[in-house]
Amino acid sequence: MRSAPLLRMTGRGNTMVLTFDDGPDPRYTPDILDTLAAYDVRAMFFVCGETAAENRDLLARMADEGHVVGNHTWSHPLLTSLRRSRIRAEMERTCEVIEKAYGEPPQWFRAPYGAWNRATFQLGADLGMEPLAWTVDTLDWTTPGTRTIVERVENGAAPGVVVLSHDAGGERSQSVRALRDYLPQLLDSGYHIGVPRRPYV
């Protein structure tokens, strides 16, 4: 069991990982999936169970297109303020939705707000999941402007970097537009955008 979340990915060459939290959202997630498909790129989606349950078709599409779906709890609470039984329920319910809609249980989880404690690591491990945080935070949830999001990704680009963005939880059109801008630029710069197939040990 880990005592801290993974922040980076190991791998050959200039591999980066793009992650999207809080979805899926039928207003924004399809556009993000369309952009990823256009460049034949895979990403990670950390979904909330209550939104995933209402958009199972989007999880099925993620599976069909080779993306990795992780657990971001059921209702996006601050886990460090909850009892273990509630944390477990938040994780388990979401695991069940993901397994039914995506086709297999999640191997990764991310604590909302990046708030981790011993219980979150233990319970995640009990459910067969590895904790993944991030290296570059776009802060796109603050709607800083498409250009600012693009600059944060480009300035933070480096081998092993995990980028945090959001495809739900608010107005995310800036995040959609930013991906269309920075993704081809990263690829042109020689970065490989990929996803981990199995948790690292």
Whether 21 is a known active-site residue: answer yes
Count of domains for the chain: 1
- Integer angstrom CA distances of residue 21 from 15, 51, 189, 190, 201: 20, 11, 25, 25, 23
Ranges 7-16, 29-38, 71-80, 105-114: which has the least confidence: 7-16
- CATH number of the domain encompassing residue 165: 3.20.20.370
How many C-beta atoms lie closer than 10 Å to residue 171's C-beta?
Answer: 10
Are the beta carbons of 12 and 194 closer than 8 angstroms? no
Catalytic residue at 181? no
Rounded Cα gap, residues 35 and 176, in angstroms:
9
Catalytic residue among 67, 72, 76, 166: 166
Let me know: does 162 contact 133? Beta carbons within 8 Å.
yes
pLDDT digits (tens, 9 = 90+) for 96-135: 999 999 999 999 999 999 999 999 999 999 999 999 999 9
What is the pLDDT at residue 135? 95
Q: Residue 141: inside a domain, yes or no?
A: yes
pLDDT at 83 over 50: yes
63 sits in which H/E element: helix 56-64
Domain of residue 144, residue span:
15-193
Residue at 7 is within a domain: no
The stretches of 103-172 forming alpha helices (DSSP H) are 118-126, 146-156
pLDDT digits (tens, 9 = 90+) for 18-58: 999 999 999 999 999 999 999 999 999 999 999 999 999 99
Q: pTM above 0.85? A: yes
In a domain, 198, yes or no: no
- Angle formed by the axes of helices 84-102 and 56-64, to 10°? 60
Whether residue 38 is contained in a domain is answered as yes
> Which of these ranges, 5-19, 102-116, 137-151, 161-175, has the smallest mean pLDDT?
5-19
Cα angle value 149/138/175 (rounded, 5°)? 55
Residue 201 has pLDDT above 50, yes or no: no
Q: Is residue 199 part of a domain?
A: no
Cα torsion for 113, 193, 42, 181, to the nearest 10°? 80
